[in-house]
Structure 1
Amino acid sequence: MAAKRGTDEMRDRVVLGEFGVRNVHTTDFPGNYPGYEDAWDQRRFEETFRVDVIREEEGTLEFDMVGIDAAIANAFRRILLAEVPTMAVEKVFVYNNTSIVQDEILAHRLGLIPIRADPRLFEYRNQVYSKHMTWVPLGNQTDLFPDADFRPVHDDILIALLRPGQEIDVLMHCVKGVGKDHAKFSPVATASYRLLPDITLLQPIEDEAAEMLQKCFSPGVIEIQNIKGKKVAKVANARLDTFSREVFRHEGLKNLVRLARVRNHYIFSVESTGILPPDVLVSEAIKILMGKCQRFLNELDSVPMD
């Protein structure tokens, strides 16, 4: 029974060696382990899947997704980067520009300034034909958005340096878009994930070896305890480790430590550009992913059965 528990545990780990990686697969697929059923099971997924919010600060959110496949984790990251819509400057009409910044460069810089305007209040642009040409007064936008405060997210983004007498006079049109069309529409400064680190000391490491081991890892990963007058190394917080593999450079330590990552435990870090809070971005990304799944199911339902 103990051997089986050990086998199951190692199945859930991606083990890092000195020059390679073992158990590298991160996708459930029958046959990876003899005698172990790897096929995806909905009931098991519903029982094991969870989302844990670890840290939420201004503009940054760190959370864990546990019990998912690598393909789903990566799909979620790509949606955050490229499919959650925002508002950005699309057209710049330059009436006067006597600065040293060329009109094209100025327009490019303006397009990359995050705009604090909730994209959920706007519609996407449609393809426009001559039949769509209608007169639309701009004055009613005040009535449409009475509580809106549309403006750049940050007031101190440098656009251009002007000498005395120089002037920039432009009119800008903002539109709704997504990051896969242009990077200026991406709502996140970064959206990344990594597998949860798992560090195991295979035998007690004491005194000078313990101090050397502590220096091999990121601060806070290894702590040294005083036990009966001896300095003994202990794994304090493996989550903080970046897996530099520094420990493998030391002959006396590399066989005493097992470095691994939990195969289905993903640590996400989402940093917003300030247009929307990161928790709202995550919620919108989940809605988009659900919509994709529903469209796929609808396509399957529409396929004629023989």
Structure 2
Amino acid sequence: MAPLTKPSQEELDRRRTIGVNLETVTNVSATEFPGNYPGEDLSWDIDEFRDGLQIKFHNNEQHDASFSLIGVDASIANAFRRIMIAEIPTVAIETAFIDNNTSVVQDEVLAHRLGLIPFRGGQDGLRNFIRFWKRPAVDAEQGEFPTSFDYNTIKLDLRVECTHNRDAAPGETDPTKLYNHAHVYAKDIVFVPEGRQVQYFSGADAIAPVNPDILIAKLRPGQVIDIEMHMHKGIGADHAKYSPVCTASYRLLPLIDITKPIVGADAEKFAKCFPEGVIGLEEVTSKTAKADKAYAEHIGETRAVVLDAMRDTVSRECLRHPEFQGKVKLGRRKDHFIFAVESSGQWDSDELFLESIKQLKIKCQKLETQVKNMIR
């Protein structure tokens, strides 16, 4: 058997780079599997995977996070994205009992708008106390709410009536000043705790809309909205209102390689081909010329350098100009995923990624158990 060989770092970088050309994209297929390259052992190794795996946060705020996931296959990165969108549970309004609605908004439209309002509350209560609700069976015992309890149903009330504002100035035309409750907002929804919910949802941890200024409806004097609502736990795969994210996406790390000097007016034009902050301009010094002999004849001139390739959108604009032909290579790194996660408010944005890892781990454990049972 021939001895196993290891590729050079340059060859590894080539394999990991997707070529972005003027009209084509090359090297898009995965090649890291046994038997693809003669004389190489590309079987999966946990130690190599551990050494190559990196997670770097670029921005970490409560509702917005950006991080890089490095060293995994696209299938794994996409699994995390799909789990964040569709399989992390949240609570949302599921049922609306409309006692009175004389607004111009139809009952079904109003119920739909209410269901899409994101809510927040005590984390321990939402994740550990509140459980999934089961719809009553057809042959279940008759009762008002036979399967609703304090541990699976959260009650909310919305009772608003529009009236004339007697203190409004003569000639006032602004409806918000002319009438009381001319606009119905999410902050008008009242949480009604039941049973042990007081222990988990009180004070700052009380159930409340993430954004209190979400407009629900507009009313005029004599119009009333009187609704009792029940919130339940669900996942985005059942309905989009249960998705804990507004957006969860990723893109591959852009690569910009300046292979030949781009100086003078060409450098300024080259910088304009990219978003601001991607390409910088700096003077060619003797130190630069010593490090790269290609700049020996350009001392004192302005040259183009790559400042932050991560800002690039890979528009390929620079490839359209003949003066840059053969001087730049564009690409994307296959195993470097830049995630952007925007939370809807019930989870912190960084917690969503950690929870997606937990969910994927649970899936793998279930699969392992099923495979063992098949073997037996």
With the shorter chain as reference, the TM-score category is over 0.9
1:242-257 alignment runs, 5 A limit: 242-257=313-328
SS at match of 2:91: strand
Cα offset, 1:290, TM superposition:
0.7
RMSD: 2.2
Q: CA deviation at 1:51?
A: 1.2
1:192 corresponds to which of 229, 246, 249: 249
Match of 1:6 in 2: 10
Report the counterpart of residue 183 of structure 2 in structure 1.
Answer: none
Q: Does 1:262 align with 2:333?
A: yes
The 1-side partners of 2:58 and 2:79 are apart by 21
- Distance 1:27-1:68 versus aligned 2 partners, 3 A rule: farther
Select the residue among 205, 209, 233 that pairs with 2:304: 233
1:10-159 equivalences under 5 Å are 10-26=14-30, 28-33=32-37, 35-117=39-121, 118=123, 119-120=126-127, 121-129=129-137, 130=140, 133=146, 139-145=194-200, 147=202, 148-159=205-216
Mapped partners of 1:91, 1:131: distance in 2: 20
Task: Say if 2:133 and 2:147, in contact at 8 Å, map to a contact too.
Answer: no
Aligned partner letter, 1:67: G
Give the equivalent residue in structure 1 for 2:239: 182
For residues 116 and 201 of structure 2, the distance between their equivalents in structure 1, rounded to whole angstroms, comes to 26
Equivalent pair of 2:258/2:329 in contact (CA under 8 Å): yes
Instruction: Letter of the 1:246 partner, please give it.
Output: E
Q: Which amino acid aligns with 2:57?
A: V
Q: Deviations over 1:65-100 (max 9, x none)?
A: 111111000000000000011110000011111110
Change (3 A) 1:107 1:146: closer
Q: Secondary structure at the match of 1:294?
A: helix
> Is the Cα contact below 8 Å between 2:103 and 2:224 reproduced in 1?
yes
Q: Distance in 1 between matches of 2:42 and 2:256?
A: 25
Q: 1:134 to 1:183 in 2, by over 3 A?
A: closer
**Aligned partners of 1:86 and 1:107: how far apart in 2?**
18
Overall identity of the aligned pairs, in %: 43
Partner of 1:223: 280
- Which region of structure 1 is more displaced relative to structure 2, 247-256 or 155-164? 247-256
Structure 2 CA distance for partners of 1:13 and 1:44, relative to 1, 3 Å: same
**Contact 1:88/1:113 (8 A) holds in 2:** yes
Change over 3 Å in CA distance of 1:70–1:171 after alignment to 2: same
Contact 2:136 2:147 in 1 (8 A): no
**Deviation (angstroms), 1:216:** 0.7
Matched residue SS, 1:198: strand
Point out the more displaced range, 237-246 or 163-172: 163-172
Higher mean Cα deviation, 65-74 or 51-60? 51-60
Partner of 1:207: 264
* Distance in 2 (alpha carbons) for counterparts of 1:4 and 1:28: 15
Q: In structure 2, what is the Cα distance between the partners aligned to 1:18 and 1:264?
A: 23
> What's the CA shift string for 1:85-124, capped at 9, x where partnerless?
1110000011111110000000000000001134303111
Conserved in 1, the CA contact under 8 Å of 2:133 and 2:148? no
Q: Letter of the 1:46 partner, please give it.
A: R
Taking structure 1 as the reference length, the TM-score comes to: 0.92
Work out whether 1:164 is the aligned partner of 2:164. Answer: no
How far has the Cα of 1:193 moved from its partner? 0.7
Whole-Å Cα distance in 2 between the matches of residues 193 and 200 of structure 1? 22
* Residue 146 of structure 1, CA deviation: 5.2
Between 165-174 and 118-127, report the one with greater CA deviation.
118-127
Could you tell me whether the CA contact under 8 Å between 1:30 and 1:39 is conserved in 2? Answer: yes
Residue 59 of structure 1 aligns with an amino acid whose one-letter code is: H
Return the alpha-carbon distance in structure 2 between the equivalents of residues 34 and 248 of structure 1.
35
User: 3-state SS of the aligned residue for 2:216?
Assistant: coil
Contact 1:197 1:262 in 2 (8 A): yes
Structure 2 unaligned residues grouped into runs of 5+: 1-6, 151-192, 285-298
Moved more, 127-136 or 161-170: 127-136
Larger radius of gyration: 2
Structure 1 window deviating more from structure 2 (288-297 vs 28-37): it is 28-37
Is 2:67–2:338's contact at 8 Å kept on the other side of the alignment? yes
Instruction: Choose 246-255 or 74-83, whichever is displaced more.
Output: 246-255
SS in structure 1 at match of 2:326: coil
Alpha-carbon distance in 1 for matches of 2:85, 2:21: 32
Q: In the aligned structure 1, how far is the partner of 2:219 from the partner of 2:262?
A: 63
Secondary structure of the equivalent of 2:313? coil
3-state SS of 1:268 partner: strand
Deviation at 1:10, TM superposition (A): 0.3
CA distance in 2, matches of 1:94, 1:249: 60
